Amino acid sequence: MNKQIKTMISTTFAAMLMLGLVGCGQTDAEVPNQSEDIGIQQEKVTDAFAPKYSSDTEYKLSVAGTYSNFESLESTIDRFYDYYPNGEIEYKYLDDYRNTISLALAGQEPPDIYVIQPWMYGDEQFSSLFDGAEVLSATELEINLYCIRPSVKWEMDDGEIRTLPVFATSYGMLVNMDIFEKEGLEVPTTFAELKAVCEQLKAAGYESPVMGANTTTTPGIGYAFSYPMFAKTVKDDRSVEADLNNLVPAAGEAMRPSLTRLKELVDNGCIDVDKCTEEIEDDYNAVILRFFEGDVPMMLCSGDVVSGTKKRESQSEAFIKKPFKYEFYIAPSGDDGGYYMDSVSILFSANKNSANMDMTNEFMRFLTSEKELGLMAAEKRLITPTKDYSLDEVYASLSDFPEERTVNFRDIEILDTAVKQYRAAAYAVINGDMTVDEAVEKYGSIPTD
Amino acid sequence: MLYLQYFRDFSCYTTLLFSFGRGCRLKKRYVIIINILIAGLILFIIVKYANDRAVESNQSSLASFEKMTTTTEQIVANYLEDEQHLCDIWANYINGSAEAGAPMTVDEAISYIRKAKISPEISGHLIFIDDDSMAGISTTARSTDSEDYSVNYSNIKIFDDLEISNVEGVVNLTRAYTNPLNGVQSIAFLNNVKVLDNETGALRSGLLIRVVPVSRLEQKLVFLKGEYENVEIALVDWDGDYMIHGKSLKNSNFFEYFKSYNPMSAQEYNQVIDTIHTDVGSMHIYNYKDEDCVIAYTPLSGLDSWFLVSYIPASELMLNRSIDWLILGVVVVGLLILLHFNLIILLNFNRKLTAAAEASNQANEAKSYFLSTMSHDIRTPMNAIIGMNEMILRDSNNEEIRMYAENIRASGKTLLGIINDILDFSKIEAGKMEIIEVDYNFASLLNDIVNMVQRKADEKNLEFNLEIDENIPRCLRGDEIRIKQVIINILSNAVKYTNEGGVVFSIKSNKCEDEPDYVNLHVSVKDTGIGIRQEDLDKLFVAFERIDEKINRNIEGTGLGMAIAQSFLSMMGSTINVESEYGKGSEFYFDLKQKVVNQEPVGEYNVAYKHFLLEKEQYKVQFVAPDAKILVVDDNEINLKVFVNLLRDTRIQIDTALSGDACIDLYKRNHYDVIFLDHMMPNKDGIDTLKDMKACADTPNQNTPIICLTANAVIGMREKYINAGFDDYLTKPIDTALLEEMLIKYLDSDLVTRAEDIEPERKQRILVVNEDIDFLRKATSTLSERYDVAVAKSMEQAISFLHKHEVDLIVMDYRIYTDLADMERSQHE
């Protein structure tokens, strides 16, 4: 063995030894700097998960939910197994969740963690879900709720937090970034820019620069483009909220700005509604697959629709053949920019009557971090409820969205009936069934079926 | 003897060490390669063994796992059949009432089931299916309202793939679903019943559902944990949807899970699905962590479209392999340590060996120096002794003196023989000995041998008998010198070790059948000597080995003779055989194939020898060259005298010089036809002198051949001297014949007159007159060599001869002379 080889080997061994020593010297959590803000300090300390219990703790937990398939949660559970391998967390899809979750909580095999959706709050049928939920903000649980965006953090009337937002959603549009790059365009941030971009795209051969599902549902064109603007209108003047919920026709006036802007979108030729009707059969699968054809610069949709894109990439022959980069943007409906509806999609609550409360809370503590919630949202391709959008580049545009044009789910309390009136009005306007004036006038009596 | 002892020990040591050291150093890399090869072979065997064992173990584990799966399937199938059977019992009882004409109402049926079911976890639901309401009554109340027994399946989509209006005859099992009364994940066993509507009293079609929590089925599989730590059981339907599954099987559908983590073509995927649908077996798959796992699958017997899939990490089934790899790792580390240890030892050993080899080299050089010195130091005086003795033999007519000289010659030859033995052995050892074939007279060869040995035998009063085959061809071709040396060695040994009795030397010949030009000589020497022990026979041909050293200490010899003889014979394609009886005597014999030059048989040895003697002339000079002039240079004055005397009859003009410088002076001054130059001389040796001579431009001897005349006769010397610039090489003691041949070769032919061209000198004529015939014969024999002898047995004859011839001398018997005087006196008187 010549000298050089000996030197290399001994250097390698020495390097390995040094690395080993350095590795041994590290701790799981960084020690915070005393000069740092206490809040930040707590965030940092708690963001790196440190198990409370012995790694050989045995446990069996169940999570009940509405998704028939919840792979992103299962991935999170797998990471939890790295700390507690001797247990099992089972996700259970409950048939007829709306009717069975309360029964399950009262039944022989109550879930330890269960899904709550925002609309359940206030409904007597679901009161047990909230009443039976563990107070996650309890100090002793050491759950890092600081990582949650304030806009989606849900404090109950008593100031406690009983639900953990797992996924957030919003309304806006999927943007084919390759088309914009090819055409040398910037993604529009204001309505004026949108009109200009659409002109250019049309000139470039894109018949309908904006497309979407022509439905009355939330992912539909009208709702996705204009409802956030409507919500902002209500947020700015909540005095109209009660009348809207009570379907007072006069309250319909609140719809005018957003419906007018919607009509403007259509009238300016930014969107060919007939083409959308013809080419997009439903508000979910068809929207995604049509977008993946690769010739739609902007596709109006909801965050839930975006969540289906990842799986369908492999189902679209066009996308497989010619993949492209796409991102989610807030639809630029306002003169100064779009309006970000920061809505909660689903939340988790821990059953305070769980047979294994410690490990239930331990899992909730594990889950409540920017990393885990971010990874889970990224895998599901929904919007993370945390402050860090960086884990999924599709939603990167939402980072640092101006607070003044953000509407979160607690800023307004518009009942489902009122929302349905708006959706119907928007549909009627873009399809020429009603003028904006007629829609405003007929608020409260617009057919919703 | 000191010389010999020293040489013997030293030679063995240096030769062995040198060859060993050189060999070992050469083999160093081979040792490393062999080490690595052996280590590699061991590793290969271990890996192969471990692999084979692992494969066997894996196959066995896999078989056990598959067996466990089928056993589990039986347990699950039996359990499901039992549950279905219990459901059927309920239905049969209810339907039995209907068939008997007294159908139960819904309440009665539920009441019956409530009583019939034993387990509180299990409930019975009876729903109407004839109006698609899918609503009915349960045996247990809603978990949130203890008064509410109503149940509704309209939002529970579990019957889509079932013909629920006719579900008799088989196990009718739904997927896992949420019990609409308590939210518990359950499975349903179904049967059709006929019951009366409580309100209308109409006989209606109902679906009886035995609702069993999935957890109850899972509990049946807990036993598996004892056998396999991480096994997970899944029950999947035709589409892959789970009824139950373990924590590792993500997704709600097994086939989706499989597809997600095991990329393959649609065709391959469909093949896998078909295999699971139709076969019982196992396969490797990758899980969500990209880990190798094994699934075993089997259809659930008695159920349509349900399959049991057992899942286990491959590592758990292949534990043995891990253990083998551990052992392998230990062995590898061990072998590496051993290899390094060996290398360290080897390097250390090599260092020592190199030092030893260097010492050996030095010793070898010392040996060469020793040989050279010994050869030179002994040969130099030997040259004088033998040379001067030769002069005595040539010049002396005194029988007694001649006898003494003859003894000196014999002893000189013996001593020279000993030196030659050592030099020969040295040559053999160095692999530089060659067999040189020449035509030779067999009788002459025999005579030389006999002459050499006869005298020794006579000295010890031993009989020396010859048995020579008369048919041996007179002239053969072979290495006469070496053959003679071999036979003399054997004969000398026989004489040496025989104290009484005698030695029989016999040679027989047989013609080679295949090769008519060749003859096979069988040479045998049989003695009545001390014999050799059987156990000593092996030592006989080992160099420097002397058998019974203590007893035979007084017997001269190097212990090389037989070893050399054996080596020579080996080079000539033969070998010495020995038969001996200790104390009684030995027989040494060998066969030797020789080419026949003259087929004429040698005949009776004595006659042949006489014939040879007649043919052989006494020493006669081969040539004369009175005009030739040569220079001989030697620091030993006696040797110069010997040289001059040996060439006296050639009449060559010889100048002598006692040193290199004197030589150069003469070299520059006089022309010489040949120069003989000694090597080892004080101050300026022969090689340095030669260099100076070659460098000298002003000389009449530019083309004069210079021959090295040296007592240094060890191997390699000829090459050394030729390389140094000498034209030829002649060893001392000087062989006159060789010297003369060399002169003939190098002298200008004009200067040389060959013996046959010399005009014979007229011999002086002597007339011997004597009446005694024997005396006349003897006188003729004695004088005819040098004189022209005429004989007369009477005065009359003498006078008559004198009338016709002139004579230079008359040798006359005094009595005749007195008779003649008397006669003359009487005439005068």
Tens digits of per-residue pLDDT, B702-745?
Answer: 889 999 998 877 667 888 899 999 999 998 888 888 898 889 99
Whether the per-residue pLDDT at A252 is higher than 90: the answer is yes
> What is the C-alpha separation between A147 and A363, in angstroms, rounded?
16
Query: How far is the alpha carbon of B55 from chain A, nearest alpha carbon, in Å?
Result: 29
From A69, A107, A109, residue closest to B251, measured CB to CB:
A69
Taking residues B769-797, report their average pLDDT: 82
Query: How far is the alpha carbon of B551 from chain A, nearest alpha carbon, in Å?
Result: 59
Interface test with A, best of B121, B241, B250 (most A CBs within 10 A): B250
Residue A241: what pLDDT?
Answer: 93
Q: For residue B204, what are the β-bridge partners?
A: B195
Beta pairing, strands B463-468 & B292-299:
unpaired
Cα angle B381, B387, B388 (rounded to 5 degrees) comes to 90
Residues of B with CB below 8 A from A109's CB?
Answer: 182-185, 213, 215
H or E stretch including B295?
strand B292-299
Query: How far is the alpha carbon of A108 from chain B, nearest alpha carbon, in Å?
Result: 7
Q: Judge: B155–A78 Cβ closer than 8 Å, yes or no.
A: no
Q: Are the C-beta atoms of residues B75 and B220 closer than 8 Å to each other?
A: yes
Judge if B207 and B270 occupy the same domain: no
Residues of A with CB below 8 A from B183's CB?
Answer: 64, 94, 100-107, 109-110
DSSP helix/strand/coil, B526: strand
pTM for this model (two decimals): 0.57
Taking residues B417-444, report their average pLDDT: 74
CATH of the domain at B225: 3.30.450.20
Residue B829: what pLDDT?
Answer: 56
Beta pairing, strands B585-601 & B518-527:
antiparallel
User: Does residue B55 or residue A336 have the better pLDDT?
Assistant: A336
> What is the C-alpha separation between B407 and B399, in angstroms, rounded?
12
| Per-residue pLDDT tens over the stretch A260-314 | 999 999 999 999 999 999 999 999 999 999 999 999 999 999 999 999 998 899 8
Residues of A with CB below 8 A from B158's CB?
Answer: 95
Residues of B with CB below 8 A from A71's CB?
Answer: 250-251
The encoded tokens of residue B829 equal: 């008187």
Domain boundary among B152, B183, B218: B218
Beta pairing, strands B674-677 & B629-633:
parallel
Judge if B544 and B448 occupy the same domain: yes
- Amino acid sitting at position A205: G
Q: Output the DSSP codes for B777-819.
A: HHHHHHHTTTSEEEEESSHHHHHHHHHH---SEEEE-HHHHHH
DSSP A53: S
> What is the C-alpha separation between B264 and B270, in angstroms, rounded?
10
> What is the C-alpha separation between A39 and A46, in angstroms, rounded?
11
* Count of domains forming chain B: 5
Q: How many residue contacts between A and B have a Cβ separation below 8 Å?
A: 83
Residue B26: what pLDDT?
Answer: 46
Compute the residue count for chain B: 829
> What is the C-alpha separation between B482 and B439, in angstroms, rounded?
13
> What is the C-alpha separation between A369 and A387, in angstroms, rounded?
10
- Amino acid sitting at position A422: Y
Whether the per-residue pLDDT at A26 is higher than 50: the answer is no
- Cis bond upstream, residue B733 (ω within 30): yes
| Per-residue pLDDT tens over the stretch B73-122 | 888 888 888 888 899 999 999 999 888 888 999 889 999 998 888 888 89
Residue B579 inside a domain? The answer is: yes
Query: How far is the alpha carbon of B116 from chain A, nearest alpha carbon, in Å?
Result: 21
Whether the per-residue pLDDT at A317 is higher than 50: the answer is yes
Residue B312 inside a domain? The answer is: yes
> What is the C-alpha separation between B757 and B625, in angstroms, rounded?
12
Q: Judge: A109–B289 Cβ closer than 8 Å, yes or no.
A: no
Residue B670 inside a domain? The answer is: yes
Query: How far is the alpha carbon of B247 from chain A, nearest alpha carbon, in Å?
Result: 6
Judge if B740 and B814 occupy the same domain: no
* ipTM of the modeled complex: 0.79
Residue B373 inside a domain? The answer is: no
Interface test with B, best of A81, A96, A102 (most B CBs within 10 A): A96
Percent pLDDT > 90 in chain A is 75
- CB atoms closer than 10 angstroms to residue A58: 12
Q: Judge: A99–B181 Cβ closer than 8 Å, yes or no.
A: no
Q: In terms of C-beta distances under 8 Å and separation of at least 24 residues, what long-range contacts does B557-562 make, across chains too?
A: B557/B418, B557/B493, B557/B496, B558/B4, B558/B8, B558/B418, B558/B421, B558/B422, B559/B8, B560/B421, B560/B422, B560/B424, B560/B425, B561/B421, B561/B489, B561/B492, B561/B493, B562/B489, B562/B490, B562/B493
Whether the per-residue pLDDT at A12 is higher than 50: the answer is no
From A71, A95, A109, residue closest to B156, measured CB to CB:
A95
> What is the C-alpha separation between B562 and A197, in angstroms, rounded?
116
User: Does residue B303 or residue A188 have the better pLDDT?
Assistant: A188
> What is the C-alpha separation between B203 and B200, in angstroms, rounded?
9
Looking at B234-243, B444-453, B492-501, B550-559, which range is the least confident one?
Answer: B550-559
Residues of B with CB below 8 A from A100's CB?
Answer: 178-180, 183
> What is the C-alpha separation between B193 and B189, in angstroms, rounded?
13
Judge if B112 and B200 occupy the same domain: yes
Taking residues B615-631, report their average pLDDT: 77
- Amino acid sitting at position B765: R
Judge if B631 and B554 occupy the same domain: no
DSSP B105: B
Judge if B191 and B229 occupy the same domain: no
Q: Judge: A71–B247 Cβ closer than 8 Å, yes or no.
A: no
At which residue do the structure tokens 């309100």 appear? B199
Residues of B with CB below 8 A from A101's CB?
Answer: 183
Residue B389 inside a domain? The answer is: no
Question: Backbone dihedral region of B162: left (phi > 0), alpha (psi from -120 to 50 degrees) or beta?
Answer: beta
Judge if B695 and B741 occupy the same domain: yes
- Please, what is the average pLDDT of chain B? 82
CATH of the domain at B124: 3.30.450
> What is the C-alpha separation between B276 and A235, in angstroms, rounded?
57
> What is the C-alpha separation between A447 and B13, in angstroms, rounded?
121
| Per-residue pLDDT tens over the stretch B359-395 | 877 877 777 677 777 777 777 788 888 888 888 877 7
At which residue do the structure tokens 């919500």 appear? A231
CATH of the domain at B794: 3.40.50.2300
Residue A41: what pLDDT?
Answer: 37
DSSP B198: T
The encoded tokens of residue A447 equal: 């057919």
Looking at A228-237, B25-34, B169-178, B331-340, which range is the least confident one?
Answer: B25-34
Cα–Cα separations (whole angstroms), residue B822 to B772, B796, B803, B815, B818: 20, 14, 21, 10, 6
Residues of A with CB below 8 A from B289's CB?
Answer: 78
Residue A23: what pLDDT?
Answer: 33
DSSP helix/strand/coil, B463: strand
Residues of A with CB below 8 A from B251's CB?
Answer: 69, 71, 74
Whether the per-residue pLDDT at B827 is higher than 70: the answer is no
Query: Where do the domains of chain A lie, and which CATH numbers do they carry?
Result: 43-169+343-392 (3.40.190.10), 171-329+415-441 (3.40.190.10)
At residue A243 the predicted structure's pLDDT band, cuts being 50, 70 and 90, is very high
> What is the C-alpha separation between B358 and B360, in angstroms, rounded?
5
> What is the C-alpha separation between B521 and B511, in angstroms, rounded?
9
The encoded tokens of residue A285 equal: 């699968």
DSSP B368: H
For residue B721, give its domain range: 623-757
At residue A32 the predicted structure's pLDDT band, cuts being 50, 70 and 90, is very low
Judge if B478 and B574 occupy the same domain: yes
> What is the C-alpha separation between B458 and B450, in angstroms, rounded?
11
What residues of chain A have any CB closer than 8 angstroms to a CB in chain B?
64, 68-69, 71, 74-75, 77-78, 81, 88-90, 92-96, 99-110, 128
> What is the C-alpha separation between B149 and B428, in angstroms, rounded?
119
Q: Judge: A103–B183 Cβ closer than 8 Å, yes or no.
A: yes
Whether the per-residue pLDDT at B451 is higher than 60: the answer is yes
Domain boundary among B563, B580, B615: B615
Query: How far is the alpha carbon of B438 from chain A, nearest alpha carbon, in Å?
Result: 58
Judge if B212 and B227 occupy the same domain: no
Q: In terms of C-beta distances under 8 Å and separation of at least 24 residues, what long-range contacts does A355-360 make, across chains too?
A: A355/A112, A356/A59, A356/A60, A356/A61, A356/A112, A357/A134, A358/A52, A358/A53, A359/A53, A359/A57, A359/A59, A359/A61, A359/A84, A359/A87, A360/A61, A360/A112, A360/A113, A360/A134
Residue B49 inside a domain? The answer is: no
Q: Judge: B183–A105 Cβ closer than 8 Å, yes or no.
A: yes
Cα angle B389, B395, B400 (rounded to 5 degrees) comes to 70
Q: Judge: B252–A128 Cβ closer than 8 Å, yes or no.
A: no
User: Does residue B156 or residue B412 have the better pLDDT?
Assistant: B156
Q: Are the C-beta atoms of residues B707 and B727 closer than 8 Å to each other?
A: yes
Q: For residue B120, what are the β-bridge partners?
A: none
What residues of chain B have any CB closer than 8 angstroms to a CB in chain A?
121, 142-144, 155-158, 177-185, 213, 215, 246-247, 250-253, 256, 288-289
Interface test with B, best of A77, A79, A80, A100 (most B CBs within 10 A): A100
Judge if B478 and B605 occupy the same domain: yes
At which residue do the structure tokens 């070998």 appear? B575
> What is the C-alpha separation between B640 and B732, in angstroms, rounded?
12
Whether the per-residue pLDDT at A46 is higher than 50: the answer is no
Judge if B628 and B715 occupy the same domain: yes
Domain boundary among B261, B295, B317: B317
Helices H / strands E in chain A, number of each = 19, 10
Burial class (CB in 10 A: 0-12, 13-18, 19+), B52: exposed
Residue B359: what pLDDT?
Answer: 87
Residue B207 inside a domain? The answer is: yes
The distance of Cα B187 from the centroid of its chain, to the nearest Å, equals: 80
Residue B63 inside a domain? The answer is: no
Sign (positive/negative) of CA torsion A317, A322, A328, A334? negative
At which residue do the structure tokens 């471990």 appear? B50
Residues of B with CB below 8 A from A63's CB?
Answer: none
Q: Are the C-beta atoms of residues B372 and B385 closer than 8 Å to each other?
A: no
Residues of A with CB below 8 A from B142's CB?
Answer: 103
Cβ-based neighbours of A204, under 8 Å, separated by 6 or more: A183
Interface test with B, best of A95, A115, A126, A351 (most B CBs within 10 A): A95
Judge if B627 and B638 occupy the same domain: yes
Whether the per-residue pLDDT at A29 is higher than 60: the answer is no
Beta pairing, strands B653-657 & B629-633:
parallel
Q: Judge: B184–A75 Cβ closer than 8 Å, yes or no.
A: no
Q: Judge: A109–B185 Cβ closer than 8 Å, yes or no.
A: yes
CATH of the domain at B498: 3.30.565.10
| Per-residue pLDDT tens over the stretch B275-301 | 998 889 999 999 888 888 999 999 988
Q: Judge: A108–B184 Cβ closer than 8 Å, yes or no.
A: yes
Whether the per-residue pLDDT at A164 is higher than 90: the answer is yes
Most confident of B408-412, B474-478, B619-623: B474-478
